[in-house]
Amino acid sequence: MVNAIFAKSTLAGLALVALGSIPSYGEVLSSGAIPPSLKINGFTAVNAYIVDQKNRINGKGGPQPHVAVDASNLFFTIMGTSVTGLEYMYRITLETIPGTSSVVDQNYIQIKSKAGTFQFGNTVGPEDSMIWDAGKIIGGTGGFDGGYSNVYNMSAGVVRGNDIIGDTGNATKLVYYSPDMAGFQVGFAYTPSTAHKGDSKLDNTTGSSGKLPGNRGLYEVTGNQPFDLRNVAVGVTYKKESGAWSMTLSAAGVSAKSYFFNGTNGTAKTRVPFRDAKAYQLGAVIGYGDFRFGGGYLDNGRSHLPLTPAFTYTGSKTVNLGSMNNGNAGKAWNLGAGYTMGAYQFGASYQRTNRNTGDNLKANSDFYTATIDVTPLQGLKVYTEVDYIRSRSNGPAVARESQFLGNNTSTSNNVGIGSNSALMGIVGTKIAF
């Protein structure tokens, strides 16, 4: 009882000291400090797709075009600056895509000083934010990292997008970015569990309830995928400008303990160790005047693969992963070029992905993109994107993905895809404020 009273009185005393140290509103204005204020901004993008592909199953056929709101966010930012120049910020991102179950996409606190930038909460890490490659150059919806999966039947087992396995998405984390040091900047993030968001209770046995960005192409199941504990992500960039020349070099990597939640054993939850996440990504963008050139490479190693052959995933239906354990988690490389001419931006890119799905059986893809973006008014962009995609797979990978899809209520009638190719045209508009 005495300890409780002492603790409460100590907290009250600290609160009074803190309140007494806060300058008055007049003192704040005269000192150059900026009181917290709210800023609202955001964007929305609406796209129309026309696609001609060889494999039109799983509902990806029928009348054209396909129209979708593929990206739409509202950002609410409260920011202030102290007398000493310390910046403090709270940001929430509302994902405003109609029909989505996830409303709040990001929610974090940021403190920025001469020592660097600290972030706490649900936001992306340096493995995402610090990579500069062809993905930074291409326009449209993003080419190989864009919205094509809404209409294209990607072959089973093909890694897709531009995220390494172990990417933490918006899981709850601590992030630090150093100040610029002679062109260098370092980022560091620690994510206790990639399956945790918001106020979820501590539970290190249960896997993710949604898809992690880096798992795309490995496990086509929404309800359960390999997840990471004690995920450490590190990124570094080097930026240099000289006259008309500019250069940005980047690298990022992740390391984590990986597990798979495999149903229940009586009333006890069980998790199974998988191969730890160890992946890295490299990128570079070089500019000269109105031209930009970029390229990148990523290697997922054997991240998130089962440790044993014929591991059986237990869901509403069982999935035998077969020889997936002796394959790899995929590699990819990309190249791109861009040119800006007034309100017009032209871009082109290519991405190649390769993966051994087990027993030296291959799954790979080639992705060619050309884009034209026009900005006729401030905040308004109109773009056209043309993609040619070619992807290939093998029998065991197709069968495995069909089993995974059968475990999802929304995709239970879908099946894995073998080889496919498509020519796709996208017209879209984006308004940002």
310-337: pLDDT as tens digits: 777 765 567 778 899 999 999 999 999 9
How do residues 51-84 score in pLDDT, each as one tens digit?
Answer: 999 999 999 987 789 999 998 999 999 999 998 8
Domain definitions of the chain by residue range:
39-432
* Percent of the chain surpassing pLDDT 70: 87
Residue 8: pLDDT band with limits 50, 70, 90? very low
**pTM exceeds 0.75:** yes
Distance, CA of 116 to chain centre: 23
261: CB partners within 8 A, 6+ apart: 205, 206, 207, 224, 227, 269, 270, 271, 272
CATH number given to 39-432: 2.40.160.10
Give CA separation, 324 vs 19, 125, 164, 251, 373, in Å: 60, 29, 18, 28, 41
Between 224 and 76, residue with greater pLDDT:
76
Determine the pLDDT at residue 33: 86
Which of 368, 371, 362, 314 lies closest to 344, judged by CA? 371
Q: Report the first-to-last Cα separation within the chain, whole angstroms.
A: 55
Lowest mean pLDDT, pick from 265-269, 291-295, 356-360, 382-386:
265-269
Structure tokens at 202: 């501590």
